[in-house]
């Protein structure tokens, strides 16, 4: 059953050193505030899973908390490179970063398998690509009915999935809408689920195409207005594109990056960050 | 596309990037549906909707079917794509039910490195001995877009850095190592049919699957294109010249880009 918690307490209780953590949101509803709380608490040796690592994982990687990254597209969307990600992969700074790299279709199906509690998923993919030469989570399987050889991808079952949604009600039922991405699958694939929301309401508003996660499928709900900033939260805020652009020169430089984390994350509080 | 000499803008009135984007938009005529990557492909697909192809169905990997954005999306997660779509679906659904099921006519891709068989690398670059591999963003949707769409268009700027003799990594298969490779690998679509650049258009030779220069943009020479290509580029027996941009095409492209800028 979802408890309504503070961000500090929910993160401290649900996310531990060495965990595999998926923080999803396909460029929309990215749970930045929760990631900053992970940085403040110094939770480390994480395996992070996310289709598009985005600036959120650039920050966690640069902060030295990440051992391994499972992903399918690692850029700063609409801007360019993720420099902290590149520095970790290319130079091992601030620590080496192990990669498990896929295509989007492969990652989406890995979450589907995880949510279904199956060991793997089947797709037509990866044929002729060099991607399978660098990962042990892609293989092939022969269809028992037709004999066709298909790609098999290992299920992802994170210890914890963290997502940001627009609303929760007072019982902890969660609703998100707009581009719903892979959040439902990522949440249902995980052992523990933490959801930050724009607001807690008496009654969830009806929304076309919304994903509703019942309270009994979630461990903790935290009200964090602006918790997806600088990404989008449909119905609440648009992307702070200036931030995404400004991130490029900050992330290019190790010292500028560290100063930014110090000023905007470490010396801030969950409450202060939300009020930003 | 017909126009009188008086109406035609002079060569100095457009840039090579505009030539590339306008020709990429023209290449979508005849398609019903297109799976669009962000960046150059998205600009070209949106231009097509504003010029010769208003009914083109734009599909984005964030899960939107039939997006009709009023400005260029800032990223694949731009709410504009969802707000203007016929339907919004989850990411697993867009890849499994729509792309993998073979429902989409054209896949429209950019690339970091391309080889003579239109294979794509967007993963790593070899920077020489004793240097770490350089990281690129990775695959995204491209491997399955190229595998499962009816055909593939590619749009990228022409340079020896991008058009290479040998890929450092095959992220996405175009025509593999030549004729028959796509069938052998079980890749169901026709694969890349055109690579549109800022200098001209390359298309695969039906006999060899190797990219050959078939079209030059106005004012560009064969020698320029060959110099910008990292392999010994073959040239078609007859090389066409692409139609100069019309005033309407240029106006539509510039309005689209201006609307994108004001949104930031």
Shortest CB distance from B137 goes to which of A74, A184, A209? Answer: A74
Query: Contact, A141 vs B23, CB < 8 A?
Result: no
Query: From the candidates B134, B143, B182, which should be mutated to test the interface with A, based on the most A CB atoms within 10 A?
Result: B143
Does residue B11 have a pLDDT over 80?
no
| pLDDT-based confidence at residue B1 (cuts at 50, 70, 90) | very low
pLDDT along chain A (276 residues), means of 10: 91 98 96 98 98 98 98 94 98 98 98 98 96 97 97 98 98 97 98 98 93 97 97 94 96 98 90 54
Does residue B207 have a pLDDT over 50?
yes
Partners of residue B171 in chain A, C-beta under 8 Å: 129-131
Q: Tell me what pLDDT residue B76 has.
A: 87
ipTM of the complex as predicted: 0.96
Partners of residue B170 in chain A, C-beta under 8 Å: 128-130
pTM: 0.95
- Whole-number mean pLDDT of chain B? 93
Q: Which one-letter DSSP state was computed for residue B243?
A: P
Give percent of chain B above pLDDT 90. Answer: 88
Does residue B4 have a pLDDT over 60?
no
Shortest CB distance from A127 goes to which of B132, B135, B186? Answer: B186
- Is B104 part of the contact surface with chain A (CB cutoff 8 Å)? no
Domain ranges of chain A: 3-102+157-270, 104-154
Catalytic residues of B: 61
Give percent of chain B above pLDDT 70. Answer: 94
- Distance, in Å, from the CA atom of B39 to the CA atom of A104, rounded to the nearest integer, reads 17
Q: Read off the pLDDT of each residue in B28-49 and give the average, rounded to a whole number.
A: 94
Q: Tell me what pLDDT residue B38 has.
A: 80
The torsion of the CA quartet A152, A156, A157, A163, rounded to 10 degrees, works out to: -140
Q: What are phi and psi of B59, to 5 degrees?
A: -125, 125
Q: Tell me what pLDDT residue B10 has.
A: 65
- Distance, in Å, from the CA atom of A77 to the CA atom of B78, rounded to the nearest integer, reads 10
- Distance, in Å, from the CA atom of A6 to the CA atom of B256, rounded to the nearest integer, reads 44
Please say whether the dihedral angle defined by the alpha carbons of residues A247, A251, A255 and A261, taken in this order, is positive or negative. Answer: positive
- Is B140 part of the contact surface with chain A (CB cutoff 8 Å)? yes
Please say whether the dihedral angle defined by the alpha carbons of residues B101, B103, B104 and B105, taken in this order, is positive or negative. Answer: positive
Shortest CB distance from B88 goes to which of A148, A209, A245? Answer: A209
- Side-chain half-sphere CA neighbours of A206 within 13 A: 0
Query: Contact, A126 vs A151, CB < 8 A?
Result: yes
Q: How far is B229 from chain A (nearest CA, A)?
A: 23
| pLDDT-based confidence at residue B39 (cuts at 50, 70, 90) | confident
| pLDDT-based confidence at residue B259 (cuts at 50, 70, 90) | confident
Q: Tell me what pLDDT residue A208 has.
A: 87
Give, rounded to a whole angstrom, the gap between the first and last alpha carbons of chain B.
33
CATH number of A3-102+157-270: 3.40.1080.10
3-state secondary structure of B196: strand
Bridge partners of A174, per DSSP, are: A168, A213
Strand A75-76 to strand A80-81: parallel, antiparallel, or no bridges (unpaired)? antiparallel
- Whole-number mean pLDDT of chain A? 96
Helix residue ranges per DSSP H, chain B: 16-26, 40-50, 79-83, 91-93, 142-148, 181-185, 222-227, 247-263
Does residue B201 have a pLDDT over 90?
yes
Query: CB B30: neighbour CB atoms within 10 A?
Result: 10
The least confident of A154-168, B67-81, B160-174 is B67-81
Shortest CB distance from B173 goes to which of A129, A181, A244? Answer: A129
Query: Contact, A129 vs A140, CB < 8 A?
Result: no
For residue A85, the chain B residue with the least C-alpha distance is B135
User: Structural domains in chain B?
Assistant: 3-263 (3.40.1080.10)
Instruction: Please state whether A5 falls in left (phi above 0), alpha (psi between -120 and 50) or beta.
Output: beta
Partners of residue A85 in chain B, C-beta under 8 Å: 135
Q: What is the pLDDT of residues A96-136, one digit of tens each?
A: 999 999 999 999 999 999 999 999 999 999 999 999 999 99
The answer to whether the Cβ–Cβ distance between A28 and B79 falls below 8 Å is yes
Sequence-separated (6 or more) residues with CB below 8 Å from residue A259:
none
| pLDDT-based confidence at residue B77 (cuts at 50, 70, 90) | confident
């Amino acid at each position: 059953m979802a408890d309504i918690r503070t961000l500090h307490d929910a993160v401290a209780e649900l996310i531990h050193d060495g965990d595999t953590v998926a923080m999803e949101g396909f460029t929309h509803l990215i749970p930045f505030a929760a990631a900053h709380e992970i940085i403040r608490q110094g939770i480390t040796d994480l395996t992070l899973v996310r289709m598009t690592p985005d600036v959120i994982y650039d920050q966690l990687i640069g902060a030295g908390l990440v051992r391994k990254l499972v992903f399918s597209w690692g850029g700063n969307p609409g801007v360019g490179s993720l420099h902290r990600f590149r520095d970790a992969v290319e130079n091992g700074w601030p620590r080496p970063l192990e990669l498990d790299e896929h295509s989007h279709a492969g990652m989406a199906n890995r979450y589907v398998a995880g949510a279904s509690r199956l060991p793997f998923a089947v797709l037509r993919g990866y044929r002729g690509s060099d991607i399978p030469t660098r990962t042990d989570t892609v293989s092939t399987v022969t269809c028992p009915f037709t004999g066709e050889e298909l790609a098999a991808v290992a299920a992802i079952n994170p210890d914890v999935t963290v997502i940001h949604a627009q609303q929760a009600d007072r019982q902890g039922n969660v609703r998100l809408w707009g581009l719903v991405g892979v959040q439902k699958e990522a949440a249902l694939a995980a052992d523990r689920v933490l959801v930050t929301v724009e607001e807690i309401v008496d009654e969830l508003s009806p929304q076309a195409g919304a994903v509703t996660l019942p309270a009994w499928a979630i461990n903790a709900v935290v009200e964090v207005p602006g918790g997806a900033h600088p990404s989008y939260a449909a119905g609440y805020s648009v992307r702070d594109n200036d931030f995404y652009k400004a991130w490029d020169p900050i992330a290019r430089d190790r010292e500028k990056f560290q100063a930014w984390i110090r000023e905007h994350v470490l010396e801030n509080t969950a409450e202060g960050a939300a009020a930003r | 596309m017909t126009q009188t000499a008086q109406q035609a803008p002079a060569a100095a009135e457009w840039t090579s990037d505009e030539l590339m984007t306008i020709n990429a938009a023209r290449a979508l005529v005849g398609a019903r549906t297109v799976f669009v990557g962000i960046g150059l492909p998205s600009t070209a697909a949106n231009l097509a909707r504003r010029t010769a192809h208003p009914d083109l169905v734009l599909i984005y990997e964030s899960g939107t079917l039939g997006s009709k954005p009023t400005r260029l999306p800032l990223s694949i997660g731009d709410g504009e794509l969802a707000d203007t779509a016929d339907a919004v679906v989850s990411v697993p659904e867009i890849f499994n039910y729509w792309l993998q099921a073979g429902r989409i006519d054209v896949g429209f891709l950019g690339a970091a490195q391309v080889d003579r068989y239109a294979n794509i690398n967007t993963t790593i670059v070899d920077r020489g001995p004793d240097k770490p591999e350089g990281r690129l963003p990775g695959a995204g949707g491209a491997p399955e877009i190229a595998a499962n769409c009816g055909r593939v268009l590619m749009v990228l700027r022409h340079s020896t850095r991008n058009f290479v003799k040998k890929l450092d990594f095959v992220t996405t298969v175009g025509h593999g190592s030549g004729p028959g490779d796509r069938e052998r690998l079980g890749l169901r679509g026709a694969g890349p049919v055109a690579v549109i650049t800022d200098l001209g258009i390359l298309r695969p030779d039906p006999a060899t699957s190797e990219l050959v220069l078939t079209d030059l943009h106005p004012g560009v020479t064969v020698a320029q294109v060959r110099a910008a290509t990292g392999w010994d580029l073959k040239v078609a027996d007859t090389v066409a010249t692409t139609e100069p941009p019309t005033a309407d095409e240029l106006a539509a492209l510039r309005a689209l880009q201006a609307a994108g800028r004001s949104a930031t």
